[in-house]
Chain A
Amino acid sequence: MAEVILKDVVKIYPYSEKKEKRKAKDVAAKKTNLQITEKGVVAVQNFNLTIKDGEFVVLVGPSGCGKSTTLRMVAGLEDISEGELYINGMLCNSIEPKERDIAMVFQSYALYPHMTVYKNMEYPLTILKQKIPYRFEIEFLTERNAAIATKIEELKAAGKAAKATKLEESIKANNARIEECKAKIATGEIDYVAKMSRAMRKYKVQKVAEMLNITEYLDRKPKALSGGQRQRVAIGRAIVRNPNVLLMDEPLSNLDAKLRNEMRAEIIKLRKKISTTFIYVTHDQIEAMTLGDRIVVMKDGFIQQIGTPQDVYDHPRNKFVSGFIGTPKMNYFDGHLSVKDGKYSVTTANGFTVALPEEKNERLRANQIGEQDVTIGVRPGHIKLNGKGIEGQVTVSELMGDSTHLHISVGDHDIIAIAHNEGVCQDYSGKVLKISFEGQCVHVFSKEGQEKNLEYFNENYHKRHEEAEAKEQKTTK
């Protein structure tokens, strides 16, 4: 367990060759919207994040947004161009990966193909000294004693008393060690650092294999396993060391949809069993929503928003976040925001007007927002098909089972609405419907610059976030 702090972290990929500088510039500019400076392409910009002990943080964003680069910087596989990285209070900028006490699960599993599953999982234990908790050693020794005891009985039955007495001595030695460990625990020590013995490694691997349900595959090589099993082995290899921080780089994206759902649930279960700080990278917003304590939404190297899944979903700070989080995607209407006596209302281009609730009014007033053209965002689930408001024709109707997703052509663009099937499935295709939405479901985005949510327009989001966090820490203390 450890706290991870990233302070103003920047990653710049320098141009590899001077002659190709111009070319690379052009290519990079076309491919992404990443900022290009004299030094090179900036993949991650001023990344500030404090990950608490034992927290599960998900970095999410479209491909090329710098989330994997950030993770690799934490792992020590990429150099940090600027800024500072602290793991467990230690400045880690120029510390080797093996000394950071981290483990990583790769998208491609990265299992060693010539080793069996057992050897794969044992490998990290064979190299470095490990933290061995006294509790674990007691557990290990008691189990070992039980095994020796049965062997002694067998030997006695076979009439080999001399060997049996030898084994009895080893039981005594083990018991003495157990007492030693208990005494250490009593003094408040939790673990010690040493090389694990072969028997202890075996016990540890077996334990982890049991936890992940891969005991029966321990003798197989990775190529004889299915994708889901390989993923389990990769996770097993990572957690067998009890790392301070567990890094996961899109671990589920090589699996098929069904297996992905299963493994997602497995990861949630796993998280309850082991107490480690998790940093998880994904491009899948469902994984982000379901797994994370906090989500970090990234785009073009910039952090867009940091918050709990609920916060990010309910209060997206800009249009990008609102569109990225939530399926189906949020609908957007061109519209106008007007104020009268401190009360705000929005009117769509089609002439549908809705007043905003007091809660939103307050925030807009606090940000001193005036009348302006805006983009109105409404989540598909909040669109009502109640025969009032904007008229549109259903172009596509997708049956999802308990609900139907309707693609409704309004003006020159399509919007998506969700119709709940209460018992009977209705055929909507081709129908002309009237749709509306309520003020409390409306998100108002500026049409300028970063298309910020106007409710949080002047908010220095990160600053406030950190302040809130500091307050929270104080209260918990």
Chain B
Amino acid sequence: MENTNNVAAVKSKPQGNSKNTAAHIRLIIEKILVYVFLMLNVFICLFFFYILIVNSTMSKDELQGVFTGIPSTHFFDNLKSALNTADVDLPQATWNSFLVAALSAIVTTYFSALSAYAIHTYRFKGRKFIAGFILAIMMIPSQVSSLGFLKLCNQMGATNQLWVLIIPGVAAPAVYFYMLQYLQATLPLDLVEASRIDGSSEFRTFNRIVLPIMKPALAVQGIFSFVGSWNNLYMPALLLTDDDKKTLPVILANLSSKAHSQADAGQVWMTILIAIVPIVVVFLILSKQIIKGVTSGSVKG
């Protein structure tokens, strides 16, 4: 009671009022600054999408003119030419990309979760060493190992095969590390023991009990590796030379290198637009899961 009385007394004083208004104004200014900053951020993020969409509606000649930022009317012309070029088989490339991205996302998340589960649950000799070793692999850039990988593929005659891009996803130290962190925060070992006593085999426990609990983590890492694989140009460009095996980024690179001299710039823009659609769709559908997955580890503690 006494406290509330004091507060009321302070508020009623004229001095207190002027202080309040000053604080109020400062708050408003802070808010305006924050919003300006955020709007700037949003503009930077979305501006390139806007350019992409606008450019994909323009004809070759319009694109060579001055940039106006106003959409034109050649959207469907570009779409037609993108789908019907003799140089590239866009639907086939999209399908290749999708196959590689989806399968490597599944393989990466499942096997990373599996190894994280093993490190988290089992107490075996050399456990700490293995955990540390996997982390140490993260420090080696992929470019370093790619030369050896490429040589191996060539010797095995495994170039121009899509599975060569999928199988290496089994070993993904960063994903493993994320899964391990997630498990440590969310999976009590009691659950595993309860499942064992209930009669599950170890794999059944993992598939039926642990995987469903890890759903948010699987979703996040699944999307990340899907996107990573979808955008990957480096390894596919080195390994895929047959036209019917090429993935989207490889085709895009081919197209845009041609674009300066002869190709239709509108067609290139359209191809890029088509290439990002699946990713945008995936993000829009699963954005809730992503946010949940990114924050869940920290919230549960």
Contact = CB atoms under 8 A, between A and B. Distances in A.
Interface string B196-223: 1111100010001100110100000000
Interface stretch (A81-89, A109-117, A196-204, A374-382): A109-117
Contacts of A102: 197
A110 B199 contact: no
Nearest to A109: B190
Contact of A114 (B193, B194, B199, B212): B212
B197 A98 contact: yes
B198 A237 contact: yes
A115 to B, nearest CB: 8
B65 interface: no
B191 interface: yes
A98 B192 CA distance: 13
Given A106-B193, A108-B188, A110-B190, A127 B198 contact: yes
A98 B200 CA distance: 7
Contacts of B195: 112, 123
B21 to A, nearest CB: 47
A77 B193 contact: yes
Contacts of A76: 196-197
Interface in B276-297: none
Contacts of A123: 195, 198, 208
B197 A97 contact: yes
Nearest to A123: B198
Most chain B CB inside 10 Å of its own CB: which residue of A76, A102, A112: A112
A110 B198 CA distance: 11
Contacts of A96: 196
Given A104-B194, A106-B193, A108-B188, A114 B213 contact: yes
B215 to A, nearest CB: 8
A146 interface: no
Nearest to A105: B194
Contacts of B215: 114
Contact of B196 (A98, A107, A113, A237): A98
Interface residues on A, range: 20 to 34
A6 interface: no
A103 B204 CA distance: 18
Interface in A59-76: 75-76
Interface string B161-203: 0000000000000000000000000001011011111111000
A103 B197 contact: yes
A311 to B, nearest CB: 32
Contacts of B200: 98, 127
Contacts of A112: 191, 194-195, 209
A241 to B, nearest CB: 8
B208 to A, nearest CB: 8
A392 interface: no
Interface in B232-258: none
A102 B200 CA distance: 13
Given A103-B197, A127-B199, A128-B199, A110 B191 contact: yes
Nearest to B187: A113
A112 B186 CA distance: 12
A126 to B, nearest CB: 9
Interface string B106-142: 0000000000000000000000000000000000000
A237 B200 CA distance: 14
Contact of A110 (B188, B204, B213): B188
Interface in A177-191: none
A222 B194 CA distance: 15
Most chain A CB inside 10 Å of its own CB: which residue of B188, B190, B213, B215: B190
Contacts of A110: 188, 190-191, 193-194
A124 interface: yes
Most chain A CB inside 10 Å of its own CB: which residue of B191, B197, B199, B213: B197
A196 to B, nearest CB: 12
Contacts of B188: 108, 110
A106 B199 contact: no
Given A113-B213, A114-B212, A114-B213, A124 B199 contact: yes
A102 B197 CA distance: 7
Contacts of B190: 106-108, 110
Contact of B199 (A77, A98, A107): A98
Contacts of A98: 196-200
A240 to B, nearest CB: 10
A94 to B, nearest CB: 15
A114 B188 CA distance: 14
Given A106-B190, A113-B213, A127-B204, A75 B199 contact: no
A97 B198 CA distance: 8
Nearest to A107: B190
A242 to B, nearest CB: 13
Nearest to A17: B128
Contacts of A114: 212-213, 215
A114 B216 CA distance: 12
Interface of B: 188, 190-191, 193-200, 204, 208-209, 212-213, 215
Q: Which 10 A-B pairs have the closest CB atoms?
A: A110-B194, A124-B198, A128-B199, A110-B190, A98-B199, A127-B199, A114-B212, A97-B197, A106-B190, A104-B197
Given A96-B196, A110-B190, 11 more contacts: A76-B196, A77-B196, A77-B197, A98-B198, A98-B200, A102-B197, A106-B193, A112-B194, A113-B213, A114-B213, A237-B198
9 contacts: A103-B197, A104-B194, A106-B190, A106-B194, A108-B188, A112-B191, A113-B213, A127-B204, A237-B198
